[in-house]
């Protein structure tokens, strides 16, 4: 499709699409944070964006929820323009920001009461707080909360206006494993209630287990966007066979087996990456034929993390 046809197409609302972003761009001075991102989110899905630090996740989200003004591009949220219809939009979306604070001496209950009066329709604070395990903290000052409790309070605040779409930026960073799991349950519960969830995370297992669709972002661009399963299937090896082989060198023979894509050794650990399970059978046959003494033998499924590292590289970013 040429560009003009594309732009024309944007004016037609797609059924069930609640967030629509086309060619979003945003720079801070010389630094280009978002460099042409396009995506669509359907009603009732959990949509995740993952990416290294500084990939443009927060900026993308900020532009969608009208916290920042994009340099160029088209954004529509529930049919609303974030720039010109900001207030109407903020009535209908809930936002948990990565970096935000409340006054130190504000109590949890007071914060909930204050923010609920900003919305036309608001939910009962006690219900939300108990869902987030904050029922016994209602009289605590904000400054007395732990990092995880603060995060849960901001999630509670994002839900107080009974939003149609909830935006979570780094929902579970800084949370202990129990809180992470209960946060996942909460997110799934929101989806079951018919709400749409748009989240960013840098935990790959979280994206894989929680999200219906995932966009991998790197250097301000989307490098892949699909369901976690499809991403793993199309971008990663299906399986890794991990073998503990202390004193035989059979790497070359392993590599010659059809379906084996890559073999490498780390100390006594030999890993063969294979396309499918038939190659695993061949590997086992070889090991039996050669009477190899095995210290360990197991297979590992590729994960979204493998896809992520493959697509974004392994060097450390700032």
For other proteins, give the closer residue by CB, 33 or 283: 33
Which C-beta is closer to other proteins: that of 9 or that of 113? Answer: 113
Residues in the chain: 318
Least distance from C-beta 174 to other proteins, angstroms? 16
- Residue pair 164/92 in contact (Cβ under 8 Å)? The answer is yes
Q: How far is the CB of 171 from other proteins (least distance, A)?
A: 15
Nearer to other proteins, 80 or 231 (CB): 80
Measured from the CB of residue 105, what is the shortest distance to other proteins in angstroms? 4
Closest CB to other proteins among residues 22, 91: 91
User: 225, 216 in Cβ contact below 8 A?
Assistant: yes
Q: Which is nearer to other proteins, 37 or 80 (CB)?
A: 80
Taking the complex as a whole, the smallest distance from the CB of residue 58 to other proteins amounts, in Å, to 11
- Least separation in angstroms between residue 101's CB and other proteins is 4
| Of residues 158 and 302, the one with the C-beta less far from other proteins | 158
d(Cα 205, Cα 238) in Å, to the nearest integer? 17
Residue 276: partners with Cβ closer than 8 Å, 6 or more residues away: 238, 239, 259
Q: Which is nearer to other proteins, 74 or 119 (CB)?
A: 119
Q: If 0-12 CB within 10 Å is exposed, 13-18 middle and 19+ buried, where does residue 49 land? A: buried
> Which stretch of DSSP H or E encloses residue 79?
none
| Sign of the four-CA dihedral 175, 177, 179, 183 | positive
Cβ(201)–Cβ(48) below 8 Å:
yes
Q: In the complex, what is the shortest distance from the CB of residue 145 to other proteins, in angstroms, rounded to a whole number? A: 14
User: Which of 41, 58, 74, 60 shows the shortest CA–CA distance to 212?
Assistant: 41
SS3 content of the chain, % helix, strand, coil (to 5): 35, 30, 35
Residues that bind other proteins (CB under 8 A): 65, 67, 87-88, 90-91, 95, 97, 99-103, 105-106, 110, 113-115, 117-119, 154, 157-158, 161
Cβ closer to other proteins: 119 or 184? 119
**Segments of the chain assigned E as strands:** 17-28, 31-42, 46-50, 72-77, 93-96, 165-169, 196-201, 213-218, 221-226, 239-244, 260-266, 269-274, 296-301
Least distance to other proteins, CB of residue 88, Å: 8
Smallest distance, other proteins to C-beta of residue 66, A:
9
């Amino acid at each position: 499709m040429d560009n003009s046809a594309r732009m024309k197409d944007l004016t037609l609302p797609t059924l069930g699409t609640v967030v629509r972003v086309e060619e979003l761009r945003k720079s801070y001075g010389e630094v280009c944070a978002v460099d042409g991102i396009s995506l669509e989110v359907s009603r009732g899905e959990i949509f995740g964006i993952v990416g290294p630090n500084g990939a443009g996740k927060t900026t993308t989200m900020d532009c969608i929820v009208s916290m920042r003004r994009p340099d160029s591009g088209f954004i529509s949220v529930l049919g609303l323009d974030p720039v010109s219809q900001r207030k109407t939009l903020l009535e209908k979306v809930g936002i948990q920001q990565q970096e935000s604070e409340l006054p130190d001496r504000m109590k949890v209950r007071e914060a909930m009461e204050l923010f609920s009066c900003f919305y036309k329709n608001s939910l009962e604070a006690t219900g939300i707080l108990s869902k987030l395990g904050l029922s016994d903290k209602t009289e605590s000052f904000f400054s007395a909360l732990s990092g995880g409790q603060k995060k849960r309070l901001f999630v509670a605040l994002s839900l107080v206006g009974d939003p149609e779409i909830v935006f979570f930026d780094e929902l579970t960073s800084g949370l202990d494993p129990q809180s992470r799991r209960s946060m996942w349950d909460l997110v799934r519960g929101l989806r079951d209630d018919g709400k749409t969830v748009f989240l960013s995370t840098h935990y790959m297992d979280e994206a894989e287990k929680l999200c219906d669709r995932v966009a991998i972002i790197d250097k301000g661009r989307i490098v892949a966007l699909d369901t976690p399963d499809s991403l793993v299937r199309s971008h990663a090896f299906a399986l890794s066979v991990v073998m503990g082989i202390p004193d035989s060198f059979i790497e070359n023979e392993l590599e010659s087996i059809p379906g084996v894509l890559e073999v490498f050794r780390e100390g006594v650990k030999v890993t063969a990456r294979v396309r499918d399970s038939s190659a695993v059978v061949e590997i086992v046959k070889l090991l039996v034929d050669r009477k190899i003494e095995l210290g360990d033998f197991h297979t590992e499924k590729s994960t979204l993390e493998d896809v992520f590292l493959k697509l974004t590289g392994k060097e450390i970013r700032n």
